[in-house]
Amino acid sequence: MAVDLFEYLNYRDFLRDAYEAEHAGNWRFSHRFIADRGGFDATLFNKILQGKRNLTPRLVSSFAAIFCKDDREKEYFTNMVSFNQAKTHSESRQFLERLVATKECKVQALAKDQFEYFDQWYHAVVRELLSIYPYVGDDFELGLMVRPPISAAQVKSSIALLERLALVRKKEDGSYEQTEGFITSGVETYNTAVNSYIQQNLNVAQDAMDRFPGTERNLSTLVFSCDEEAYKDLVEMVRRFRREVLGRVAACKKSNRVFQLGLQVFPLSDSYPPPLRRGRKRRIRGSEADHE
């Protein structure tokens, strides 16, 4: 069965499925065969599929020649590699937009829905407000409930989007209620869309220091040092805490306000001793390098 490149947003998934499809019809199409055609070591292909190695520009060209049928597919494959291996959110977003702009792309609708929902921080706020505010078309009043306020036009378009995505539904009396729905898709598009959403919410959190008195907000930060094992434990603790927060919120019967809780854990330094970077040596105080 032929594999459709335009159904993929992850080049490793595509290479894995395309290889298995070719190999099933032709046993000579092996890792060794691919290595010989591409001019690289026979173990490299497996390392790429496992995520242990990325594709260089030369390898992109080699794999495109092996697995792509025409220039259109080669262009899509090249953008997909750039998207998956992007080092910044802006690069990731740039290449994902190129992918979904391709007319043959089969994931346009899903990606568009995700971008549209996560592109504006207030969509989630409006959805929560609809569970406590008896909205019946008074867009301006609902917009004033948001902090910072949003326009009536933004409220109207936000509710239309939430309805289309089945995240809210209109009741018989004209008001709205939340559904259990949520946007799901491949991890690649999800992460790119959510990164933009998180960036917006960090900006909103920064502005909250001026918008609300100290009695109405709780902002804090903590800087510490630990090892990799402790860091992994901290990440799991944050996940458990999020589940506990969601459980407590679910048990709340008389909600009357929308809140944002931000949890971030990220490195502020290199590990010590730092990794040896290719092409240059680095002197480390107290290491054996000082005594050479």
∠ CA 68-187-31, nearest 5°, is 40
pTM, rounded to two decimals:
0.53
Distance CA 218, CA 261 (A): 9
Report yes or no on 59 lying in a domain: yes
Q: Domain count of the chain?
A: 1
Lowest mean pLDDT among 158-167, 190-199, 277-286: 277-286
Q: If we measure between CA atoms, which residue out of 81, 66, 201, 96 comes closest to residue 147?
A: 201
pLDDT at position 291 over 70? no
Residue with tokens 């036009």: 153
> Tokens representing 187?
């991890």
What CATH number should be reported for the domain holding residue 91?
Answer: 1.10.260
pLDDT band at 289 (very low <50, low <70, confident <90, very high): very low
Query: What number is the average pLDDT over the span 202-208?
Result: 75
Report yes or no on 121 lying in a domain: no
Report yes or no on 262 lying in a domain: no
pLDDT band at 276 (very low <50, low <70, confident <90, very high): low
Distance CA 62, CA 6 (A): 19
Q: Which residues of 136-171 are buried (b: 16+ CB within 10 A; e: fewer)?
A: eeebeebbebbbeebeeebbebbbebbeebebbeee
Alpha helix locations (H) across 149-227? 152-164, 187-211
Report in angstroms the alpha-carbon separations of 78 from 96, 98, 112, 209.
11, 11, 21, 44
Domain span holding position 96: 5-104
Looking at residue 260, its pLDDT comes to 82
> Tokens representing 144?
């004033």
pLDDT at position 111 over 80? no
Looking at residue 187, its pLDDT comes to 47
Looking at residue 284, its pLDDT comes to 53
Report yes or no on 198 lying in a domain: no
Sign of CA dihedral 223, 229, 234, 235: positive
Length of the chain, in residues: 292
Report yes or no on 25 lying in a domain: yes
What's the pLDDT tens digit per position in 134-148? 898 999 999 999 988
Report yes or no on 286 lying in a domain: no
Alpha helix locations (H) across the chain? 11-25, 31-38, 44-49, 57-67, 71-84, 89-101, 108-118, 122-129, 139-145, 152-164, 187-211, 228-250
Rounded to 5 degrees, φ, ψ at 176 are: -120, 160
Q: If we measure between CA atoms, which residue out of 45, 109, 52, 101 comes closest to residue 72?
A: 101
What's the pLDDT tens digit per position in 137-176? 999 999 999 988 999 999 999 999 898 888 899 998 888 9
Query: What number is the average pLDDT over the span 11-28?
Result: 91
Sign of CA dihedral 54, 58, 60, 63: negative
Mean pLDDT of the chain: 82
Q: Which residue has the higher pLDDT, 1 or 39?
A: 39
pLDDT at position 277 over 70? no
Looking at residue 184, its pLDDT comes to 42
What's the pLDDT tens digit per position in 219-232? 777 888 888 899 98
Residue with tokens 């502020």: 268
pLDDT at position 15 over 80? yes
What's the pLDDT tens digit per position in 27-60? 999 999 999 999 999 899 999 999 899 999 999 9
Rounded to 5 degrees, φ, ψ at 177 are: -140, 155
Q: How many beta carbons lie within 10 A of that of residue 222, not counting itself?
A: 5
Q: Which residue has the higher pLDDT, 183 or 3?
A: 3
Report yes or no on 17 lying in a domain: yes
